[in-house]
Amino acid sequence: MHFKSNSFFSKSRFLLILILYLLFLDACDSTTTSKAQKELLIYCGITMVKPITEIAKIIEEQENIKVNISQGGSKDLYKSLKHSMVGDLYLPGSSSYRDRNLKDGLLKEFQLVGYNQAAMLVQKNNPKDIKADLHQLLRDDLSVVMCNPESGSIGRETKKILTNNNLYDKVLKNIAFLNSDSRTLNNSLKNNKADLIINWRATAFFDDNIDHIDVIDLPTGMVKPNKLQINLLSFSKHPEIAKRFMSLSASEKGQEIFRRYGFLDKNMNSNSN
């Protein structure tokens, strides 16, 4: 009996140790999985995707975190983040999106990361001999394409510029069709569906556009640089890492990246292009 009792307790002790060990492994595995799944989500206007992608790679290495970028029109992105209440940062193509939506309480602190400016964009080498004059948008021999002001930041900016010059309604009657954002605008030029668009000038310097698109800058005073502000979201799961992403974007290192993609930096230094 004594031997059997010791055997029983030995087996019980063994099973208890085995269970605790398995629980320990499970806890370690859960911790590892949790760390591996830590992610940062950025809602980014299409025009700024390239510099933000570069900065994201730096943050991924520094913070051991995966950065996901949701790209699209600034208005659509805000609707998406407001509906889902998921994500960490929001970078629209104009500060007007912060001003207009601040009342919702979803956009917290921000960092100025640079400026963008509208310009007339044409096919490479300007085959239609288009001048730096908004009235060129009324030429009946040109296929003019414009961004929908209800979807993209460049659409809102275009409407503002044309309205200030009493041309919006006239140009609207002359356009071939509306596009949804800056990328589809440029694709219209590259696919020979448009001769002339108004878009953010920085997009013309992207690697996939520079061989196909030329910039015609509008006269000084007709267009104003638009602030690019990256916003912390109130429901961010990783606010400290998100803030470090913001700080890096506004730092000299981040500004050098933005300048490379044709943006004006936060100190209004012109891009060398």
Residue 109: both structure tokens together: 């602190």
Q: How many CB atoms lie within 10 A of CB 139?
A: 16
pLDDT score recorded for residue 34: 47
pLDDT score recorded for residue 263: 92
Q: Which domains does the chain have, with CATH numbers?
A: 38-114+226-260 (3.40.190.10), 118-216 (3.40.190.10)
Instruction: Tell me the C-alpha distance between 71 and 19, whole Å.
Output: 47
252 burial (CB, 10 Å; 0-12 / 13-18 / 19+) is exposed
Whether residue 259 contacts residue 50, with contact meaning beta carbons closer than 8 Å, is answered with no
Residue 238: both structure tokens together: 């990783």
Q: For residue 219, what is the DSSP state?
A: P
Successive 10-residue mean pLDDT values, the chain, 273 residues: 50 58 59 62 95 98 96 94 98 94 98 95 98 97 96 92 96 95 95 97 93 92 91 98 98 95 76 41
pLDDT score recorded for residue 272: 39
pLDDT score recorded for residue 228: 97
pLDDT score recorded for residue 105: 98
CA angle 219, 216, 45 (to 5 degrees): 100
pLDDT score recorded for residue 269: 44
pLDDT score recorded for residue 266: 82
Whether residue 77 contacts residue 43, with contact meaning beta carbons closer than 8 Å, is answered with yes
pLDDT score recorded for residue 6: 54
Paired sense of beta strands 226-233 and 107-116, if any: antiparallel
Nearest to 215 by CA among 100, 116, 140, 73: 116
Instruction: Tell me the C-alpha distance between 220 and 20, whole Å.
Output: 73
